[in-house]
Chain A
Amino acid sequence: MKYLPNILEIKAETTLNLLLARAKKVKTHSIDEYIESGGYNALKKALSMDPKEIIDWVDKSQLRGRGGAGFPTGKKWQFAVQNPPPRYFVCNADESEPGTFKDRVLIERDPHLLIEGMIISSYAIGAEKAFIYIRGEYPAGYYILRNAIEEAKSRGFLGKNILGSGYSLDIYVARGGGAYICGEETALIESLEGKRGHPRLKPPFPVQKGLWGCPTVVNNVETICNIPIIVEKGWEEYRYIGPSEYPGPKLFPVSGKIKKPGVYELPMNTTLRELIFKYAGGTLGNKKIKAILSGALDCFSADELDTPMDYSPKGFGGTGTVIVLTEEDNIVELCLKIAEFYEHESCGQCTPCRVGCYEQHNLLKKIIKGDASEKDWEAFIYINKHIQPTSICGLGAVAGRLIRQAMEKFPKEFERYKPTVVKY
């Protein structure tokens, strides 16, 4: 590669050696290194299979989307192929949730795993054009992917008549421009069409009307990287990785007040406690844990350390992001940062989200300064409750959630700032 920006040496550890088999090493693996370790064998196998059979395998593997919502991937693909072509396949590499850096490690270190996954996925759903939408703040990833695509083309894995199968595919890489909302799949599609990233009303879902009104599958980087593993091992063997209800490897980006921050690849029957203490070395200075955040979504307390890292209703869920805060950290200050984040990232389309995120942040600033009157407190609580119900997209739906959980789980932290006791 001619030019590569400076990249980070993020620690990556694995007990499974699947998604991070190569990426645990801090380097970008070339196509030769990828092929040497068995890469592109899954593609060869896939091209000898009927596309329907691949979808069936992915369905039976019980793979769920790793982009946050945990939607079953096989089901999504089944919906897509019910609609007539042209169909498109889109890789969501917008990764902008605070605390999340798992996709980055895959993109920068093992780009061919992602590309092989994209080719198989596109073949399965009958797409002849596929796109990777990578966030603007990952320039190195952009160059690495462009380069890897050229490498794959030169070996006949991409382009016209892939490996003599008669199937043709082009993959395009597009960069974002610094907007968290473009990770939401319909906003991403708008952005990919060259527009502002305003989420669309659903339904219709992207699998019905996505890019240019055509059926489109949007999957997360980590989800796609599971596809070669499923094809290579077969769905039955894949189902033995981790717990039977939530099979497959999962990446957990761990950061905050922790001794060994980094990305961990583990099965989903791992608990939050094991992840933090057994793998990530416990807290900095052995301080007591106060809160664990799954990005900007949920807030867990130290009483909830036995939460399993899976997609069950009581599981950790989401992207697998773990941010650890300890006894020294101020929860109200945390809420202020969360409110700031949502205010900054609301796209402004719907009134409750636009006004709500702004006011929530504003009132919280007052509260933390000690300037909030009882009326301000009431307004704050009212707004926090009402951002959610009438929003177009998931951002508005969760913009008040972590803060509400924090108020419920850490009432004392908030009391300090209250003139009189206000009931939530």
Chain B
Amino acid sequence: MFEKELEEKLKSHINYFPRKEQAILMCLHEIQNHYGYIPKESLKPLSDMIGLPLNHVEGVVAFYDMFDTESPARHRIRVCVSIVCHFMQKDKLISALKEKLGIDMGEVTEDGRFKLIPVQCIGGCSEAPLFMIDEDTYKFEGEEKLDEILAKYT
């Protein structure tokens, strides 16, 4: 079962849609925001709330890129590695991030604070190179600014 607070949030998504199974992606976002990833143990209680087999929920989690059942992290940094960002010096952004965090793409910092994730176009290409931290979208404006931004996420 989920903690009360999370369960209430999940219920509100499930009650929101005309059919409860429609809430599955919303619930997965909510679970990931809560735990910093999607614990495998959360999938059975979720399937019970939605009223669909666990197998279905597992298939959905695996299909969508944003959901991570592997590594918990308090904050997810999604770095665009797509076409425009690539030609607009995304490598500078990536090496700055790697150096500051001491991790490679796909890894989590030792203190569990950040995970670095390469993603395809995040739809703000005029401001390339771009990255997201959790729900916030940022452009790269030099290392100093990057430090300031990172400091906001503890």
Question: Which residues of chain A have a CB within 8 Å of any CB of chain B?
Answer: 5-11, 95-101, 104, 129, 135-140, 172, 174-180, 191-197, 212, 253-257, 261-263, 293, 296, 323, 325, 329, 333-334, 337-338, 341, 344-345, 347
List of A residues within 8 angstroms of B123 by Cβ? 95-96, 100-101, 104, 135, 137-138
List of A residues within 8 angstroms of B86 by Cβ? 333, 337
19 new A-B pairs (CB below 8 Å) besides A194-B25, A261-B126? A5-B135, A95-B123, A96-B123, A97-B121, A99-B83, A101-B123, A101-B126, A140-B137, A174-B17, A174-B26, A177-B28, A177-B67, A178-B67, A194-B23, A194-B60, A197-B63, A253-B125, A296-B83, A333-B86
CA distance A380 to B97 in the complex (A): 35
Would you mind naming 28 contact pairs between A and B with Cβ atoms under 8 Å apart? A5-B134, A5-B136, A8-B130, A9-B127, A10-B126, A98-B120, A100-B123, A101-B126, A129-B18, A137-B66, A138-B123, A174-B17, A174-B26, A175-B25, A175-B26, A177-B28, A177-B63, A177-B65, A177-B66, A178-B119, A180-B120, A194-B19, A194-B50, A196-B59, A253-B126, A255-B88, A333-B86, A337-B83
Report yes or no: B121 in contact with A98, Cβ–Cβ below 8 A.
yes
Report yes or no: B83 in contact with A175, Cβ–Cβ below 8 A.
no
Report yes or no: A10 in contact with B135, Cβ–Cβ below 8 A.
no
Q: Which residue on A lies nearest to B56, using beta carbons?
A: A195
For the complex of A and B, the 7 pairs showing the least CB-CB separation, nearest first, are A177-B64, A178-B65, A261-B126, A178-B66, A194-B21, A6-B136, A255-B125
CA distance A125 to B66 in the complex (A): 34
Report yes or no: B29 in contact with A136, Cβ–Cβ below 8 A.
yes
Report yes or no: A293 in contact with B66, Cβ–Cβ below 8 A.
no
CA distance A147 to B16 in the complex (A): 14
Task: Give residues 31-48 of B contacting A (CB, 8 Å).
Answer: none
Q: Which residue on A lies nearest to B84, using beta carbons?
A: A255
CA distance A195 to B60 in the complex (A): 6
List of A residues within 8 angstroms of B84 by Cβ? 98-99, 255-256, 323
Report yes or no: B125 in contact with A196, Cβ–Cβ below 8 A.
no
List of B residues within 8 angstroms of A172 by Cβ? 16-18, 22
Chain A contact surface mostly: loop
Report yes or no: B121 in contact with A191, Cβ–Cβ below 8 A.
no
Report yes or no: A261 in contact with B64, Cβ–Cβ below 8 A.
no
* CB contact under 8 A between A8 and B127, given known A172-B18, A179-B64: yes
List of B residues within 8 angstroms of A175 by Cβ? 25-26, 29
List of A residues within 8 angstroms of B116 by Cβ? none
List of B residues within 8 angstroms of A195 by Cβ? 56, 60
Report yes or no: B124 in contact with A325, Cβ–Cβ below 8 A.
no
Q: Which residue on B lies nearest to A135, using beta carbons?
A: B123
Report yes or no: B126 in contact with A174, Cβ–Cβ below 8 A.
no
CA distance A100 to B128 in the complex (A): 12
Report yes or no: A6 in contact with B66, Cβ–Cβ below 8 A.
no
Report yes or no: B137 in contact with A6, Cβ–Cβ below 8 A.
yes
Report yes or no: A261 in contact with B16, Cβ–Cβ below 8 A.
no
CA distance A101 to B120 in the complex (A): 13
Q: Which residue on A lies nearest to B24, using beta carbons?
A: A194
List of A residues within 8 angstroms of B103 by Cβ? none
List of A residues within 8 angstroms of B146 by Cβ? none
List of B residues within 8 angstroms of A7 by Cβ? 137
Task: Give residues 44-89 of B contacting A (CB, 8 Å).
Answer: 50, 52, 56, 59-60, 63-67, 78, 82-84, 86-88
Report yes or no: B121 in contact with A176, Cβ–Cβ below 8 A.
no
Cβ-defined partner of B120 (8 Å) among A10, A192, A253, A344: A344
Q: Which residue on B lies nearest to A12, using beta carbons?
A: B126
Name the distance in Å between B150's Cβ and chain A's nearest Cβ. 13
List of B residues within 8 angstroms of A344 by Cβ? 120
CA distance A178 to B138 in the complex (A): 18
* CB contact under 8 A between A136 and B126, given known A6-B137, A256-B84, A323-B83: no
Report yes or no: A257 in contact with B120, Cβ–Cβ below 8 A.
no
List of A residues within 8 angstroms of B50 by Cβ? 194
Report yes or no: A256 in contact with B82, Cβ–Cβ below 8 A.
no
Name the distance in Å between A337's Cβ and chain B's nearest Cβ. 5
Name the distance in Å between A280's Cβ and chain B's nearest Cβ. 10
* CB contact under 8 A between A10 and B127, given known A137-B78, A177-B64: yes
CA distance A341 to B65 in the complex (A): 13
* CB contact under 8 A between A137 and B132, given known A193-B22, A337-B83, A338-B83: yes
For the complex, is B139 an interface residue (Cβ under 8 Å from A)? yes
For the complex, is B122 an interface residue (Cβ under 8 Å from A)? yes
1/0 contact trace for B8-19 toward A, CB 8 Å? Answer: 000000001111
List of A residues within 8 angstroms of B78 by Cβ? 137
CA distance A8 to B125 in the complex (A): 10
Q: Which residue on A lies nearest to B17, using beta carbons?
A: A172
Name the distance in Å between B22's Cβ and chain A's nearest Cβ. 5
Q: Which residue on A lies nearest to B136, using beta carbons?
A: A6
CA distance A242 to B134 in the complex (A): 41
Report yes or no: B83 in contact with A341, Cβ–Cβ below 8 A.
yes
CA distance A110 to B50 in the complex (A): 34
CA distance A100 to B121 in the complex (A): 8
Cβ-defined partner of B124 (8 Å) among A104, A179, A191, A257: A104
List of A residues within 8 angstroms of B130 by Cβ? 8
